[in-house]
Structures are given as C-alpha cells and as structure tokens.
Amino acid sequence: MRNIKTLTGKDPEDFQSLAEKKGLVLNGELKPGVKAGDIIKWLKDDFNLGHGHAMSIYAWFKGKRD
C-alpha cells in the first residue's frame, strides 16, 4: 500500500471514498454485482495502477487489511 500511496498520493481510505462516489462501494462494502474486473479497470484507467496494485486495492475493499 505504501507504493500505491507514493504512485497516486492516495491511501486505501481515499480509494474507498472515491469508489463510493462512483457507485462501486456502498457502506464500506462492494456493491452486489461489482466484480474484481470493474475495480481493476477503474484503477488502471483513472490512476494508471498496474494489475498487482489494483488487486491490492480490491483485496482491501474485500476486507484484507494486512
């Protein structure tokens, strides 16, 4: 996550807030029907993140906070 913050200036909480505004996350959880590919595409397109970094954010959304 440190590398993601260095690349984008955003931490996971920032991404969560942005995902809520985009309608991908609701009340801190992925909305039903939102798939990993939706999150990955958004993060790659809007933040130029690589697949691994985007998957880390997706995992964070799914509750993996280690």
SS (H, E, C) the chain: CHHHHHHHCCCHHHHHHHHHHHCCEECCEECCCCCHHHHHHHHHHHHCCCHHHHHHHHHHHCCCCC
Q: Is 66's pLDDT higher than 90?
A: no
Nearest 5°: the CA angle 20, 11, 9 is 110
**Can you give the pLDDT at residue 2?**
87
Q: Does the pLDDT at position 28 exceed 90? A: no
What pLDDT score was predicted for residue 18?
A: 97
Q: What does pTM read for this prediction? A: 0.88
- What does the mean pLDDT of the chain come to? 93
Vertex 14 angle, CA 8 and 16, to 5°: 120
pLDDT in tens, 31-61: 999 999 999 999 999 999 999 999 999 999 9
